[in-house]
């Protein structure tokens, strides 16, 4: 598709104008077979690699709390948003509440349905765009471009062939919802750009586009681009008002509620991972970690060539001369293509900037899916006896590219993925599914109980059972037991409760009761850790690490030997207790732990940006100095 807009395109859509379409029963049948085959390939591929990741189980802990009436929290009594995708959390909650089935099976079912549907919807969107581009008016020589067209699956096969795409089609994470939302937005934008749609359809498009940040925060890129196009396109100001209202109603209301309830303008995961930070070198390494093992660059380049060659050129290129022309150009097939390509590139740049992720390919999948949308199906115009040389060349190049893509997809789909992907190497990137399949001994770890076979998990359950008084569980250097820091006397009836301090939040929290508090040193579920400074050269996605001394001080546990593990320092615990008295830190803690009153809700809204940017030093002594507190008398000073 040309990136410029001709005069003919500026007047589109004109659905009531007389035209000749190239669609035939055979064309439709070939496309339908392609949709069915591609969707089934993805469904079968996702099922073959079905699993639920440890991070996916984190979502399920929040769902359990919702079902139990504790609210959208990870630990009862602490308002912490540990899930990046708001809609995914509530979608799983709704499915679990309605079906009353085991949550893991609910997640697996929803994921398979959304992933499969995303492929079909993406193809329908591209088919509608490509078929519309072949509409010609009576009197034109259609034979110049050839006869009927066969719309064959192309870009979707590239996406399906990449192993991480099938891994994260399930996984319990929101990737399935992300590509479903993107595919649906693509189809809606194509319909809007190629035909006259009624007011209800326009408002639904606006509503759907506005949901992007709630599907995943960085999808605001697609949301913003789509809504700017819709808002600036020719229409009345009353229509623009309704577009704005329908797009913003849900995300704005939720944003106000989020800031008041959680005390943050975005999920706590963004604080824990410093999503606004930059790690370009790590990001480019992450990009090559996906492109390299599968030679993914090859089909991308070939499909770009095929897209250019097989696109019908409507006529001489003319730039818009007036503001009205420019506005009409926003509602054209060309603009729809530019929209997704620009959005995909911006997503790619953002993923690289933040350093990617520790899971092989995961955060690049939305960008890859988006960039492939315009060529998700490849139109091959069959030459006729009256076809010109360009039509014959276009068919030959397109057919050759399609065959090469099929061959590449076969080999890529049957590779083992990244080399030694089950080992966390220097890059910190790992083939997450292979890693957990190896370390749990289950080819398809889906149930939380499957992760009891992961090192330390059964020992954790036994440690909780053997300490009825409660306490803090810390992972020891040996995988067969946990160190337990006891609560102070007197022990309340029924015990003081247990807290588990461990990085793997999902498997840990899903194999204990909701009465057991589960927190982590990286800060996904523990704001004290998430509000520390990012460690330089730390493993991507794991570059925060709060010392356990802070947890002992925070929970008011016994901070003396022999009750402390040998590797902990009594003086550090004492200093951590003093450091926690910092006024700003106390205000931060109150924002998510104090009873939620109207006054606190309003204060959280006003101070949410401050809380989001607040950081303290992970070394207690340095934090005391930073906050200007009086240093305590330590045992080694006596």
| DSSP run (H or E) holding 64 | helix 54-67
Rounded to an integer, what distance in angstroms lies between the CA atom of residue 519 and that of residue 529?
A: 9
Sequence-ordered list of residues with C-beta below 8 angstroms from that of 606, at least 6 positions apart, any chain: none
Q: 525 is written with which tokens? A: 């579920």
Residue 321: predicted pLDDT = 73
Rounded to an integer, what distance in angstroms lies between the CA atom of residue 143 and that of residue 252?
A: 52
Rounded to the nearest 10 degrees, the angle between the axes of helix 220-232 and helix 175-194 is: 10
Q: What is the pLDDT of residues 532-579, one digit of tens each?
A: 998 887 888 888 999 999 999 999 999 999 999 999 999 999 999 999
Q: 41, 176, 133, 28: which is closest to 374 by C-alpha?
A: 133
Segments in the chain below pLDDT 70: 1-23, 133-147, 312-318, 385, 419-422, 636-638
Residue 5: predicted pLDDT = 35
Q: Are 116 and 170 in contact (CB under 8 A)?
A: no
User: So where are the chain's domains?
Assistant: 25-135+147-313+325-414, 547-637
Residue 543: predicted pLDDT = 86
| Length, in residues, of the chain | 638
Residue 143: predicted pLDDT = 35
Q: Are 380 and 150 in contact (CB under 8 A)?
A: yes
Sequence-ordered list of residues with C-beta below 8 angstroms from that of 334, at least 6 positions apart, any chain: 1, 2, 3, 4, 5, 9
Residue 415: predicted pLDDT = 85
DSSP three-state, residue 436: helix
Residue 137: predicted pLDDT = 37
CA 523 to chain CA mean position, Å: 19
Q: 530 is written with which tokens? A: 């998430």
**Helix spans in 556-614 (H):** 570-579, 583-593, 598-613
Residue 318: predicted pLDDT = 66
Residue 315: predicted pLDDT = 53
CA neighbours within 13 Å on the CB side: how many for 347?
A: 30
Q: 632 is written with which tokens? A: 């305590």
């Amino acid at each position: 598709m040309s990136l410029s807009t001709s005069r003919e395109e500026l007047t589109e859509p004109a659905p009531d104008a007389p035209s000749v379409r190239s669609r035939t029963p055979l064309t439709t049948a070939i496309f339908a077979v392609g949709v069915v085959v591609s969707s089934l390939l993805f469904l079968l591929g996702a099922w073959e690699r079905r699993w639920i990741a440890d991070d996916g189980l984190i979502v399920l802990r929040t769902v359990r709390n919702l079902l139990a009436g504790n609210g959208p929290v990870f630990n009862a009594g602490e308002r912490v948003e540990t899930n990046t995708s708001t809609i995914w959390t509530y979608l799983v909650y709704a499915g679990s509440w309605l079906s009353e089935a085991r949550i893991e099976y609910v997640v697996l079912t929803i994921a398979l349905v959304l992933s499969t549907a995303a492929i079909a919807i993406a193809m329908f969107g591209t088919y509608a765009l490509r078929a519309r581009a072949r509409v010609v008016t009576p009197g034109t020589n259609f034979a110049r471009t050839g006869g009927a067209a066969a719309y064959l699956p192309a870009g979707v096969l590239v996406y399906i062939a990449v192993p991480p795409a099938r891994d994260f089609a399930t996984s319990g994470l929101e990737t399935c919802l992300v590509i479903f939302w993107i595919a649906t937005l693509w189809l809606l934008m194509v319909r809007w750009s190629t035909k006259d749609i009624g007011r209800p359809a326009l408002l639904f498009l606006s509503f759907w586009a506005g949901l992007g940040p709630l599907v995943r925060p960085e999808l605001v890129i697609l949301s913003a681009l789509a809504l700017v196009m819709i808002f600036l396109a020719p229409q009345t100001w009353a229509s623009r008002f309704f577009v704005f209202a329908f797009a913003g109603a849900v995300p704005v209301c939720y944003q106000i509620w989020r800031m008041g309830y959680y005390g943050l303008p975005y999920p706590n995961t963004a604080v824990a991972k410093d999503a606004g930070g930059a790690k370009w070198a790590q990001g480019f390494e992450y990009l090559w970690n996906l492109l390299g093992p599968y030679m993914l660059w090859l089909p991308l380049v070939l499909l770009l060539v095929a897209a250019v060659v097989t696109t019908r050129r409507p006529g001489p290129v003319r730039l818009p001369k007036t503001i009205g022309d420019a506005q009409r150009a926003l509602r054209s097939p060309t603009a729809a293509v530019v929209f997704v390509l620009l959005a995909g590139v911006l997503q790619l740049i953002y993923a690289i900037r933040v350093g990617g992720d520790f899971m092989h390919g995961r955060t690049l999948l939305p960008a890859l899916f988006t960039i492939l949308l315009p060529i998700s199906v490849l139109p091959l115009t069959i030459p006729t006896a009256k076809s010109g040389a360009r039509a014959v060349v276009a068919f030959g190049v397109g057919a050759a590219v399609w065959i090469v893509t099929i061959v590449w997809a076969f080999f890529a789909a049957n590779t083992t993925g990244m080399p030694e992907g089950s080992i966390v190497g220097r890059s910190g990137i790992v083939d997450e599914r292979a890693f957990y399949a190896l370390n749990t001994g289950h080819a398809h770890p889906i149930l939380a109980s499957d992760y009891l076979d992961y090192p330390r998990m059964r020992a954790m359950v036994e440690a909780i059972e053997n300490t009825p008084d409660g306490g803090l569980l810390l992972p020891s250097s040996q995988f067969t037991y946990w160190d337990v820091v006891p609560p102070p006397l007197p022990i309340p009836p029924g015990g003081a409760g247990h807290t588990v301090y461990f990085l793997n939040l999902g498997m840990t929290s899903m194999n204990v009761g909701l009465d057991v508090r589960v927190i982590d040193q990286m800060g996904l579920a523990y704001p004290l850790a998430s509000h520390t400074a990012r460690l330089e050269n730390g493993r991507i996605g794991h570059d925060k690490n709060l010392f356990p001394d802070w947890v002992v001080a925070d929970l008011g546990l016994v901070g003396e030997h022999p009750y402390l593990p040998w590797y902990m320092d009594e003086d550090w615990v004492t200093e951590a207790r003093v450091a926690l008295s910092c006024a700003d830190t106390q205000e931060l803690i109150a924002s998510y732990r104090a009873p939620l009153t109207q006054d606190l809700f309003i204060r959280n809204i006003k101070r949410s940006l401050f809380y989001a940017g607040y950081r303290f030093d992970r070394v207690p002594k340095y934090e005391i100095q930073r906050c200007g507190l009086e240093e305590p008398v330590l045992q080694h000073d006596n």
